Amino acid sequence: MMNASIRVSSPLTAVVGLLLTVALLAVSPNADAAEPLLVEKKSFTTRNFATVSGEVIPEVTVGWEAYGELNAAKDNVILITHFFSGNSHAAGKYTPEDPLPGYWDAIIGPGKAIDTNKYYVVSSDTLANAFPGLPHVITTGPASLNPATGKPYGLDFPVVTIRDFVNVQHALLESLGVTSLHAVIGASMGSLQAIEWAAAYPDMVERMVSVIGTGAMDAWTITALEHWARPIKADPNWNQGDYYEGEKPLVGLTSTLAMITQQAMHPLSMNMRAPQQPVLPEAGLASVTNSLPALDFLFNAAAGQAPLADANHILYLVRANQLFVAGHEQDLATGLAKIKAKTLFLPAKNDLLLQPYMAQQSVKLLQAQGKDPQYAEIEGIWGHLDGIYSISSKADLLAEFINSPTATSN
Amino acid sequence: MMNASIRVSSPLTAVVGLLLTVALLAVSPNADAAEPLLVEKKSFTTRNFATVSGEVIPEVTVGWEAYGELNAAKDNVILITHFFSGNSHAAGKYTPEDPLPGYWDAIIGPGKAIDTNKYYVVSSDTLANAFPGLPHVITTGPASLNPATGKPYGLDFPVVTIRDFVNVQHALLESLGVTSLHAVIGASMGSLQAIEWAAAYPDMVERMVSVIGTGAMDAWTITALEHWARPIKADPNWNQGDYYEGEKPLVGLTSTLAMITQQAMHPLSMNMRAPQQPVLPEAGLASVTNSLPALDFLFNAAAGQAPLADANHILYLVRANQLFVAGHEQDLATGLAKIKAKTLFLPAKNDLLLQPYMAQQSVKLLQAQGKDPQYAEIEGIWGHLDGIYSISSKADLLAEFINSPTATSN
């Protein structure tokens, strides 16, 4: 057996991360390792939820889970906000038999960077979660039943924003009697929520960690996200969002999921995983309609996941991301100016989706406002996914940041 | 008027480059500037063309043009090979009224880096050119009439490879009595052709310049190219390539062209060009089916260009690129080992499509084979397109390389 201090990670056993919403984790194979944290998926409902777009959703239900214990003062709460294709399952296992724990199990748990012996860590599903077909996901979105019609909302569901995601989480915390956050921490779309939390509820948020994120969308990213939406909209089965009684737009969904996954990766990791292409493969040379060996890896995985995703939900997530600027203010600087939290930005050096220039932009603006944001780049071969797969390389920095005093509290 | 030594370039007047196959050029607005090089588009036909895939195309016709004069020894020829959405028009103007000259006019012309006072510069259209609807493009591909049926080939056209493009150019040069190339120079897909020339006809090629290119496709790029193909194949109007008597798959084509263009750019340039998005734009917040201000720039341009492109041609170009490895050998090292030419690799530092690691891979392999490849990175804000728009920054290096002696000639 290996020494307890040695942790092994095996990139080759990892499945395509954003699709399966599982992470490649550093596992401790030694016999005396701690039991896996067992977690329970719960459900939270709020009624007459008013959206930023000015509509009211009669009933919003989202899933959530928590790790650790809420203290008596209810001031030891850390909120985790999830990425585009993720869900609340950030740590632990639902059953001991689960093959893999939550996506950030490397940093969340007893004695880990986000120490569940000290903190009560809450993680919730967002509105319009991308994968409502996954067994543990609980979400409200276009695929949910519209009480007015008894049928799925489809495009009658109001457009929702990152602020709406935050407001659902706010209602959840309120139901728990929680009025302050020791920290809010999220990766990618979760980073948008974390920043939005700090800008929208500055007096509630003491620390904010943005992992592989941005304080605002730019034209480049708004356009990149549109490429994710177009295959769905172009699929005849999409039918203007009304497909719940017919064929699902799986061809478009497959294109979208494959694109998302590639853009979240990096040539270094993809070239390691895909099979070497033989010279002039016979089928590929015979017709442009035939696939190639290098393609099956990604597109087969995407096709396998497509039935668990919802096309409309993905369109709504795309739009929520496209509309994001911190605090919904007229510009990023104004939004960031509202933040009182201590901040830490952790972009991934090889990220091709939300490149480090985006985090740097927020850092520079905060510095210009006399604040002291912290910044470090995650190294790795995964690109954007280094925010998940390589997060343990920043465990010490994270722990130090989380445990550091703020101006108003410690 | 400006001083003759000052050249101005205006990124904001450049139209989306790969789509329009025009380049942002350094222009000399001074009154005593040289007359524009006037060029004539010509046509070349070769019969019973045998493809790598083992089929015979009864008649192949491609367009070509030339700048400078062929010398008596016919040994002053430089061949220019074009990029994915480009064509033979690398320099000069067809008429004095043309708004813009060819894409590399900054480096091709009298007294320029590729000096047409010394060299006879030949540039030809490829097989299955992406934009057969452009007035000056002459190409043979799936949209061409199949003499056996009198109708367009569609998917009956054989899959063609980069070697096939090279072999058509070889036949063209043969028809001119040219048996050696002083240099072959190409950008992007043109770089693939340049490398293929040097590997397939090593005794003919004295110098090879690969701009924003690669010696072989990797899984990352093969997959990225597949994302370009899928919107076309998913468009019901594509109809397995049989759309020439019906509606063209313009929705799919628009997605593809927009994707290509974005991937050829960089956040730096796109964010400069696109309008700033207002906070929570009303239409975008009203429905996910509404567009956003930041999107119109790219997608309207792509929609405007789509009718000039051919969907099948783009699928064939995608496949030709996906199948590429230098020399069609079992691996890149073996292909590169056949090259006798002096080589120069010019990736673009900010390229997100064919990143510099690809050129570096070839350079390292050539060095390991005891050769002396030259390498320099093009800087700029355009990403992949810096191989076109910022090429003048490497004009001196190019001139020095082109005019340098080789081991066997000078």
**SS3 letters across chain B:** CCCCCCCECCHHHCCCHHHHCCCCCCECCCCCCCCCCECCCEEEEEEEEECCCCCEEEEEEEEEEEECCCCCCCCCEEEEECCCCCCCCCCCECCCCCCCCCCCCCCEECCCCEECCCCEEEEECCCCCCCCCCCCCCCCCCCCEECCCCEECHHHCCCCCHHHHHHHHHHHHHHCCCCCECEEEEECHHHHHHHHHHHHCCCCECEEEEECCCCECCHHHHHHHHHHHHHHHHCHHHHHHCCCCCCCCHHHHHHHHHHHHHHHCCHHHHHHHCCCCCCCCHHHHHCCCCCCHHHHHHHHHHHHHHHHCCHHHHHHHHHHHHCCEHHHCCCHHHHHHCCCCEEEEECECCCCCCCHHHHHHHHHHHHHCCCCCEECCECCCCHHHHHHHCHHHHHHHHHHHHHCCCCCCC
Q: According to the model, what pLDDT value does residue A76 have? A: 98
Asked if A123 and A79 touch (Cβ cutoff 8 Å), the reply is yes
Examine the pLDDT at B29 and tell me if it is beyond 50. Answer: no
Q: Give the best residue of B55, B223, B255, B328 to mutate against chain A (max A CB count within 10 A).
A: B223
Strand order in the sheet with B120-124: B42-50, B56-67, B120-124, B77-81, B183-187, B207-211, B342-346, B374-375
Instruction: For residues A142 and A145, give the distance between their C-alpha atoms in angstroms, rounded to a whole number.
Output: 8
Instruction: For residues A329 and B327, give the distance between their C-alpha atoms in angstroms, rounded to a whole number.
Output: 56
Q: According to the model, what pLDDT value does residue B395 have? A: 98
Count the Cβ atoms, other than its own, within 10 Å of residue A393.
16
Examine the pLDDT at B6 and tell me if it is beyond 90. Answer: no
Over residues A139-149, mean pLDDT: 97
Question: Can you give the CATH number for the domain in which A38 is found?
Answer: 3.40.50.1820
Percent of chain A predicted with pLDDT > 70: 90
Q: Confidence class of residue A408 from pLDDT cuts 50, 70 and 90?
A: low
Selecting among B115, B310, B351, B386, the annotated active-site residue is B351
Burial class (CB in 10 A: 0-12, 13-18, 19+), B372: exposed
Cβ-defined contact of A262 to B159 (cutoff 8 Å): no
Asked if B160 and B190 touch (Cβ cutoff 8 Å), the reply is no
**Chain Cα centroid distance, residue B299:** 22
Instruction: Confirm whether A409 is domain-assigned.
Output: no
Residue A251 touches chain B, beta carbons under 8 Å: yes
Backbone angles phi, psi at A38, to 5 degrees: -95, 130
Min Cα distance A9 → chain B (Å) is 23
Residue A230 touches chain B, beta carbons under 8 Å: yes
Q: According to the model, what pLDDT value does residue B69 have? A: 98
Asked if A224 and A285 touch (Cβ cutoff 8 Å), the reply is no
Which of B 55-84 lie inside 8 A of A, CB atoms? none
Cβ-defined contact of A219 to B328 (cutoff 8 Å): no
Q: Confidence class of residue B408 from pLDDT cuts 50, 70 and 90?
A: low
Closest CA to B311 of B173, B159, B131: B131
Instruction: For residues B148 and B167, give the distance between their C-alpha atoms in angstroms, rounded to a whole number.
Output: 23
Residue B89 annotated among the catalytic residues of the structure: no
Cβ-defined contact of A226 to B295 (cutoff 8 Å): yes
**A75-87 pLDDT, tens digit each:** 999 999 999 999 9
Cβ-defined contact of A226 to B330 (cutoff 8 Å): no
Instruction: For residues B190 and B130, give the distance between their C-alpha atoms in angstroms, rounded to a whole number.
Output: 13
Over residues A343-358, mean pLDDT: 98
Over residues A341-364, mean pLDDT: 98
Cβ-defined contact of B288 to A318 (cutoff 8 Å): yes
Examine the pLDDT at A110 and tell me if it is beyond 90. Answer: yes
Instruction: Confirm whether B321 is domain-assigned.
Output: no
* Lowest pLDDT segment from A374-383, B33-42, B236-245, B372-381: B33-42
Asked if B137 and B125 touch (Cβ cutoff 8 Å), the reply is yes
Which of A 122-161 lie inside 8 A of B, CB atoms? 155, 159, 161
Over residues B255-280, mean pLDDT: 91
Q: According to the model, what pLDDT value does residue A160 have? A: 98
Asked if A165 and A313 touch (Cβ cutoff 8 Å), the reply is no
Structure tokens at B410: 């000078």
Instruction: For residues A124 and A175, give the distance between their C-alpha atoms in angstroms, rounded to a whole number.
Output: 13
Residues 6+ apart with CB under 8 A from A341: A184, A198, A202, A205, A206, A207, A208, A406
Cβ-defined contact of B220 to A262 (cutoff 8 Å): yes
Q: According to the model, what pLDDT value does residue A26 have? A: 34
Closest CA to B310 of B102, B122, B157: B157
Q: What is the dihedral of CA B249, B86, B128, B296, to 10 degrees?
A: -10
Candidates B240, B294, B315; nearest CB to A223: B294
Closest CA to A257 of A188, A320, A306: A306
Write down the residue that tokens 């009439």 correspond to: B145
What total number of domains does chain B contain? Answer: 1
Residue B230 with chain A: CB contacts under 8 Å: 231, 255
CA distances in angstroms from A76 to A116, A121, A166, A195, A203, listed in the order given: 10, 8, 19, 19, 15
Residues 6+ apart with CB under 8 A from B242: B154, B155
Q: According to the model, what pLDDT value does residue B276 have? A: 77
Work out the angle between the directed axes of helices B293-305 and A219-234 (0-180°, nearest 10). Answer: 60
**B122-179 pLDDT, tens digit each:** 999 999 999 999 999 999 999 999 999 999 999 999 999 999 999 999 999 999 999 9
Instruction: Confirm whether A52 is domain-assigned.
Output: yes
Instruction: Confirm whether B149 is domain-assigned.
Output: yes
CA distances in angstroms from B61 to A356, B75, B135, B273, listed in the order given: 48, 25, 15, 38
Instruction: Confirm whether A190 is domain-assigned.
Output: yes
Structure tokens at A220: 């480049």
Over residues B228-246, mean pLDDT: 98
Q: Confidence class of residue A5 from pLDDT cuts 50, 70 and 90?
A: very low
Q: Confidence class of residue B30 from pLDDT cuts 50, 70 and 90?
A: very low
Q: Confidence class of residue B279 from pLDDT cuts 50, 70 and 90?
A: confident
* Structure ipTM over 0.85, yes or no: yes
Instruction: Confirm whether B120 is domain-assigned.
Output: yes
Q: According to the model, what pLDDT value does residue A34 have? A: 61
Residue A303 touches chain B, beta carbons under 8 Å: no
Residue A351 annotated among the catalytic residues of the structure: yes
- Closest chain A CA to residue B291: A226
Instruction: For residues A360 and A362, give the distance between their C-alpha atoms in angstroms, rounded to a whole number.
Output: 5
Q: According to the model, what pLDDT value does residue A262 have? A: 96
- Closest chain B CA to residue A239: B289
* Lowest pLDDT segment from A336-340, B33-37, B127-131: B33-37
**B73-118 pLDDT, tens digit each:** 999 999 999 999 999 999 999 999 999 999 999 999 999 999 999 9
Instruction: Confirm whether A1 is domain-assigned.
Output: no
Write down the residue that tokens 């050119």 correspond to: B129
Candidates A236, A255, A330; nearest CB to B279: A330
Q: What is the mean pLDDT of chain A?
A: 91
Candidates B258, B266, B285; nearest CB to A53: B285
Cβ-defined contact of A227 to B159 (cutoff 8 Å): no
Percent of chain B predicted with pLDDT > 70: 90
**B370-381 pLDDT, tens digit each:** 999 999 999 999
> A108-109 and A207-211: which strand pairing?
unpaired
> B207-211 and B183-187: which strand pairing?
parallel
Over residues A124-134, mean pLDDT: 98
Selecting among A85, A123, A188, A191, the annotated active-site residue is A188
Residue A335 with chain B: CB contacts under 8 Å: none
Structure tokens at B343: 């080589």
**B51-61 pLDDT, tens digit each:** 999 999 999 99
Cβ-defined contact of B325 to A219 (cutoff 8 Å): no
**A293-304 pLDDT, tens digit each:** 899 889 999 999
- Closest chain A CA to residue B320: A285
Cβ-defined contact of A288 to B315 (cutoff 8 Å): yes
CA distances in angstroms from B141 to A188, B129, B241, B296, listed in the order given: 43, 7, 12, 31
Sign for the CA dihedral angle at B81, B84, B86, B90 comes to: negative
Examine the pLDDT at B1 and tell me if it is beyond 50. Answer: no
Min Cα distance B266 → chain A (Å) is 8
Instruction: Confirm whether B62 is domain-assigned.
Output: yes
Q: Confidence class of residue A340 from pLDDT cuts 50, 70 and 90?
A: very high
Asked if A121 and A67 touch (Cβ cutoff 8 Å), the reply is yes
Residues 6+ apart with CB under 8 A from B174: none
Asked if B106 and B34 touch (Cβ cutoff 8 Å), the reply is no
Which of B 77-116 lie inside 8 A of A, CB atoms? none
For residue B47, give its domain range: 37-217+327-403
Residue B385 with chain A: CB contacts under 8 Å: none
Residue A315 with chain B: CB contacts under 8 Å: 288
Instruction: For residues A392 and B239, give the distance between their C-alpha atoms in angstroms, rounded to a whole number.
Output: 49
Residue B156 annotated among the catalytic residues of the structure: no
Instruction: For residues B183 and B401, give the distance between their C-alpha atoms in angstroms, rounded to a whole number.
Output: 10
Residue B295 with chain A: CB contacts under 8 Å: 222-223, 226
| b/e code A322-345 from CB counts within 10 Å (16+ = b) | bbbbbbbbeebbbbbbebbbbbbb
Q: What is the mean pLDDT of chain B?
A: 91
Cα–Cα–Cα angle for A74, A346, A375, rounded to 5 degrees: 100
Q: Confidence class of residue B34 from pLDDT cuts 50, 70 and 90?
A: low
